[in-house]
């Protein structure tokens, strides 16, 4: 929060400096002869461009403007010296160039400060999103928390050698069920499924929702020898579901698991997800 406050203060200072400079420029506009209106429009264009696209684009535009005005000055000086209406003095051109660059630098800096605050807000929003790692429909942890917890379990296994197992649980046609029976019945089923999941697992088991139809479990201290019992338990967990209207709906599911031990050559959660995902797809075929 302190960083955000400092950056906001810097933006306020830049805005004040920019407004003061703009007021002074309006009061002491250099007289550019018959191209006076065009010169003011050009400087306004450079300022707007710098405000919306950044300092680099503003400075490049300023150099082009000064080059064009400088070329006009020298063309009139050498080829039309008798026509004084288009000529402006070197001091006027220098003053105009100084004002142009100063205003462009201030507006470009303002753009950068605003962009920094925008990036900071986006970063903070992402951090909040990761901290609030709860799926609102089921109350289970979400995929971000799953990846974090999975990495913690991998690190723990490397240090202490205690195995753990990851289950991936896919409920078939859950999306179609929502479309067919409506939002309320869909929420009722998710509540029912969440209760069944908690009943069928230990308090130390970690439960997650990865997508609309996919759920995951991390089972600490669960070795491969227990997997056939656990797989059958999870496979029969749903059974027949009775809707509010009294209709019986039978859900099918697909389950895949992977046990990680100290000897397992696994470096990241991505590898485990890839292995289990491929296994789940093979079961679905």
What would the pLDDT profile of 255-280 be if each residue is shown by its tens digit? 888 888 888 877 788 888 888 888 77
Question: Whole-angstrom distance between the N-terminal and C-terminal Cα of the chain?
Answer: 51
Give 18's contacts (C-beta < 8 A, 6+ positions apart).
103, 106, 107, 110
What would the pLDDT profile of 174-189 be if each residue is shown by its tens digit? 989 999 989 999 999 9
Give 145's contacts (C-beta < 8 A, 6+ positions apart).
133, 134, 208
| CATH node for 143-284 | 3.30.70.270
Region 237-243: what's the mean pLDDT?
82
Q: Which residue ranges make up each domain of the chain?
A: 2-131, 143-284
Two structure tokens written together for 219: 């089972």
DSSP state of 30: P
Residues 133, 145: contact at Cβ < 8 Å? yes
Q: What CA–CA distance (Å, rounded) separates 191 from 187?
A: 6
Q: What CA–CA distance (Å, rounded) separates 12 from 86?
A: 40
For residue 215, what pLDDT band results from cuts at 50, 70 and 90? Answer: very high
DSSP state of 141: B
Which among 85, 96, 90 is positioned nearest to 35, based on CA atoms?
Answer: 85
Two structure tokens written together for 6: 């400092």
What would the pLDDT profile of 16-72 be if each residue is shown by its tens digit? 777 787 777 777 777 777 777 888 888 889 888 888 888 888 889 889 988 888 887
- Higher pLDDT: 89 or 55? It is 55
E strands in 149-243: 164-171, 206-209, 214-220, 240-242
For residue 1, what pLDDT band results from cuts at 50, 70 and 90? Answer: very low
3-state secondary structure of 189: helix
User: What pLDDT is stored for residue 218 in this prediction?
Assistant: 92
């Amino acid at each position: 929060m302190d960083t955000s406050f400092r950056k906001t203060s810097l933006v306020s200072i830049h805005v004040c400096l920019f407004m003061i400079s703009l007021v002074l420029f309006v009061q002491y506009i250099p007289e550019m002869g018959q191209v006076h209106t065009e010169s003011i429009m050009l400087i306004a264009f450079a300022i707007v461009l710098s405000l919306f696209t950044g300092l680099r684009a503003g400075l490049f535009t300023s150099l082009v403007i000064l080059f064009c005005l400088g070329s006009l000055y020298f063309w009139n000086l050498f080829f039309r010296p008798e026509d004084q209406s288009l000529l402006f003095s070197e001091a006027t051109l220098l003053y105009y160039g100084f004002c142009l660059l100063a205003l462009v630098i201030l507006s470009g800096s303002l753009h950068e400060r605003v962009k920094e605050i925008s990036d900071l807000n986006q970063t903070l929003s992402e951090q909040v999103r990761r901290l609030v790692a709860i799926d609102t429909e089921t109350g289970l942890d979400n995929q971000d928390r799953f990846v974090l917890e999975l990495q913690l379990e991998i690190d723990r296994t490397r240090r202490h050698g205690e195995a753990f197992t990851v289950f991936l649980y896919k409920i078939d046609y859950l999306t179609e069920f929502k479309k067919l029976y409506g939002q309320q019945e869909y929420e009722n089923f998710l509540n029912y499924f969440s209760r069944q999941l908690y009943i069928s697992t230990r308090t130390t088991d970690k439960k997650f929702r990865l997508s609309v139809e996919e759920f995951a479990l991390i089972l600490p201290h669960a070795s491969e020898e227990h997997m056939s019992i656990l797989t059958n338990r999870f496979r029969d967990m749903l059974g027949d579901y009775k809707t509010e209207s009294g209709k019986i709906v039978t859900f099918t599911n697909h389950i895949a698991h992977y046990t990680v031990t100290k000897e397992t050559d696994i470096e990241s959660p991505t590898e485990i997800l890839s292995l289990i995902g491929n296994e789940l797809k093979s079961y679905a075929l």
